[in-house]
Amino acid sequence: MEYISIGNVKLKKTAALAPMASVADRAYRILCREFGACYTVSELISSKGLCYSDKKTAELCTVTEKERPMALQIFGDDPEFMKRGAEICMSYHPDILDINMGCPVPKVVNNNSGSALMKDPDRAAKIVEAVKSISEVPVTVKFRKGWSRDMVNAVEFAEVMEQAGADAVTVHGRTKDQMYSGSSDMDIIKQVKQAVSIPVIGNGDVDSLSSCLDMYSYTGCDLVMIGRASYGNPFIFREIDCYFDNGEYTPPTVEKRMEIMLYHIELILSQPEKDETRAMREARKHASWYMKGLYGAAAFRNRCYSLETFDDAKRLAEDFLKLQHEHS
Ligand SMILES: Cc1cc2nc3c(=O)[nH]c(=O)nc-3n(C[C@H](O)[C@H](O)[C@H](O)COP(=O)(O)O)c2cc1C
């Protein structure tokens, strides 16, 4: 097994879980760690929200032992707010502090944050310097290929981030304009890797062990990060971990999928901030993802989206399994 170091943090060189707002919450991160994700990142947290003691702060910033090694990810456009936000994050003891400079969502970019910072490398550098000045842990930056087809600057941007003191960068090979359409460009990740000497985390469209190995070999990146391919599929991390650990991987049966779906829902329900109504509402999309691609999944979608209680989820799993057995 190989390891990489981001500052003083040692990570297994397998695959990390990408930050995903409204998806990769604490329950999701714990689950993916249990399945072998080597590193997790929080949902994006507003630096201004932190400074104004937003009521969601504790929920977003709490780092439990089961999620470590874990980064807290902050966003904002103002170096001073980012510094104060970083200081507040320190009281939650993350392993790494990550700065979001890749989010393409209008609400974020219209405030000159997220990927809008790729258009203003000077400001982005000031933010990294400000956060570094206060952070007790390594500081990383996550960004995209560039703003648009006409403004592809990930390589220069990575160099500026390195000079400003970033301890690693994560690159998603799409521009802001692409949002999530088209495909992620591995060439840009390769070019960034050649340009900087800090670790580079490659991200975008990795959806299997083989595409993970391609990302490593084609780009030379230090670590691979996986987002959407883990929907209803924490197994992807186990497969990658087994490969690097020379272990034997057995793909999950449909029974196993349903067992893990229920375990995932239990984890959501066990989070102290979420009452049953909220937890079950959030569990619905996950339930449907665990069925995706299996026989009859489309017909079960409506049932997933009307789950109200854990008993509903148990009945759903039983009926789905019955259908699979009748079909086989
Ligand atoms: C629902 C969703 C929420 C996301 N939230 C964040 C976020 O909070 N912070 C961030 O840096 N990236 C966020 N991303 C981007 C992912 O971290 C990742 O860069 C992107 O999905 C590409 O990787 P993938 O092809 O493996 O999914 C989000 C993506 C999705 C689909």
pLDDT digits (tens, 9 = 90+) for 146-202: 999 999 999 999 999 999 999 999 999 999 999 999 999 999 999 999 999 999 999
Residue nearest to ligand 1 atom 12, measured at CA: 19
Report the pLDDT value the prediction gives residue 13, as an integer from 0 to 100: 98
Q: Alpha-carbon Rg of the chain, whole angstroms?
A: 20
Q: Which residues of the chain have pLDDT under 50?
A: none
Which residue from 17, 20, 98, 209 has its CB within 8 A of the most atoms of ligand 1, so it is best to mutate?
20
Q: What is the dihedral of CA 104, 102, 48, 164, to 10 degrees?
A: -150
State which of 60, 172, 200 you would mutate to test the pocket of ligand 1, scoring each by most atoms of that ligand within 8 A of its C-beta: 172
| Residue with tokens 């790729």, as numbered in its chain | 118
pLDDT digits (tens, 9 = 90+) for 84-102: 999 999 999 999 999 999 9
* Separation of CA 324 and ligand 1 centre (Å): 32
pLDDT at residue 196 in the model: 99
Q: How many angstroms separate the CA atoms of 72 and 320, rounded? A: 37
Task: Say if residues 60 and 25 touch (Cβ distance below 8 Å).
Answer: no
Instruction: Please give the structure tokens belonging to residue 269.
Output: 């329900």
Q: In the annotation, is 304 catalytic?
A: no
Catalytic residue selected from 32, 103, 212, 304: 103
Paired tokens of 238: 């186990």
* Residue closest by Cα to atom 19 of ligand 1: 172
Please name the residues in contact with 2: beta carbons below 8 A apart, sequence gap of 6 or more.
12, 13, 244
Burial label for 214, CB within 10 Å (0-12, 13-18, 19+), is middle
58 φ/ψ sector (left φ>0, alpha ψ -120 to 50, else beta): alpha
Residue closest via CA to ligand 1's atom 2 equals 20
Nearest Cα to Cα of residue 289 among 243, 235, 326:
235
Q: How many CB atoms lie within 10 A of CB 164?
A: 20
Instruction: Please tell me the predicted confidence (pLDDT) of residue 328.
Output: 84
pLDDT at res. 55: 87
Length, in residues, of the chain: 328
Q: What gap in Å lies between CA 81 and CA 50, rounded to an integer?
A: 9
